[in-house]
Chain A
Amino acid sequence: MTTSSSLVYLIALPLVGATILLLAGRRADKWGHILGTLMSASSFAVGVYQLTQMLGRSNEARPVTQKLFEWISVGSFKVDAGLMLDQLSICFVLLITGVGTLIHIYSISYMSHDHDRRRFFAYLNLFIAAMLLLVLGNSYLNLYVGWEGVGLASYLLIGFWNQKPAYATASKKAFVMNRIGDMGLSFAIMIAFATLGTVSFDGIKAASEHASTAALTAIGIMLLVAATGKSAQFPLQAWLGDAMAGPTPVSALIHAATMVTAGVYLITRSNFIFDAAPTAQLLVVIVGAITLIFGALIGTAKDDIKKALAASTMSQIGYMILGAGLGPVGYAFAIMHLLTHGFFKAGMFLGAGSVMHGMNDEVNMRKYGALRKFMPITFITFGLGYLAILGVPPFAGFYSKDKIIETAFNAAGNKGLILGIVTLLGAGITAFYMSRVMILTFTGKSRWDDDAHPHESPLLMWLPMAILAIGSVASGFLLSNGNALVNWLAPLFAEHEEEAERLNPNLVSGLALAVVALGVAIAFIKYSRQEVAAVAPEDVSVFTKIARKDLMQDAFNEAVFMRTGQALTATLVKTDEAVIDGAVQGVGSMAMGSGSVLRGIQTGFVRSYAALILVGAALLIGAIWMVTK
Chain B
Amino acid sequence: MDAANYLYLSVLLFTIGAVGVVVRRNAIVVFMCVELMLNAANLAFVTFSRINGDLNGQVVAFFTMVVAACEVVVGLAIIVTIYRSRRSASVDDASLLKR
Contacts and interface: CB of A to CB of B under 8 A. Distances in A.
Direct A–B contact in complex, judged by CB atoms less than 8 Å apart: yes
Given A607-B23, A610-B21, A610-B22, A602 B98 contact: yes
A614 B21 CA distance: 10
A611 interface: yes
A605 B22 contact: no
Interface stretch (B4-12, B41-49, B60-68, B87-95): B87-95
B22 A602 contact: no
Closest 4 CB pairs of A and B: A604-B98, A604-B95, A606-B91, A611-B22
Contacts of A611: 22
Nearest to B24: A607
19 contacts: A599-B99, A602-B98, A602-B99, A604-B95, A604-B98, A605-B91, A605-B95, A606-B30, A606-B92, A607-B22, A607-B23, A607-B25, A607-B92, A610-B21, A610-B22, A611-B22, A614-B18, A614-B21, A614-B22
Interface string B55-99: 000000000000000000000000000000000000110111111
Contacts of A607: 21-25, 30, 91-92
B24 to A, nearest CB: 8
A610 B97 CA distance: 15
A605 B94 CA distance: 7
What size tier do the contact residues of chain A reach?
10 to 19
Interface in B24-40: 24-25, 30
Contact of A604 (B18, B30, B97): B97
Interface of A: 599, 602-607, 610-611, 614
A599 B98 CA distance: 9
- Report which residue of A599, A602, A606, A611 has the largest number of chain B beta carbons within 10 angstroms of its beta carbon: A606
A604 B96 contact: yes
A611 B18 CA distance: 8
Nearest to A610: B21
A520 B30 CA distance: 117
Nearest to A617: B18
Nearest to B94: A606
Given A604-B97, A605-B92, A605-B95, 18 more contacts: A599-B99, A602-B98, A602-B99, A603-B98, A604-B95, A604-B99, A605-B91, A605-B98, A606-B30, A606-B92, A607-B21, A607-B22, A607-B23, A607-B24, A607-B25, A610-B21, A611-B22, A614-B22
Nearest to A601: B98
B13 to A, nearest CB: 15
Contacts of A604: 95-99
A317 to B, nearest CB: 78
B21 A603 contact: no
B19 to A, nearest CB: 9
Nearest to B25: A607
Contacts of A599: 99
Nearest to A600: B99
Nearest to A596: B99
Nearest to A599: B99
A26 to B, nearest CB: 68
A603 B22 contact: no
Contacts of A603: 95, 98
Contacts of B99: 599, 602, 604
B92 A602 contact: no
A371 B13 CA distance: 123
A604 B93 CA distance: 10
Contacts of B97: 602, 604
Contacts of B95: 603-606
Contacts of B94: 606
A607 B94 CA distance: 11
Contacts of B21: 607, 610, 614
- Report which residue of B24, B30, B97 has the largest number of chain A beta carbons within 10 angstroms of its beta carbon: B97
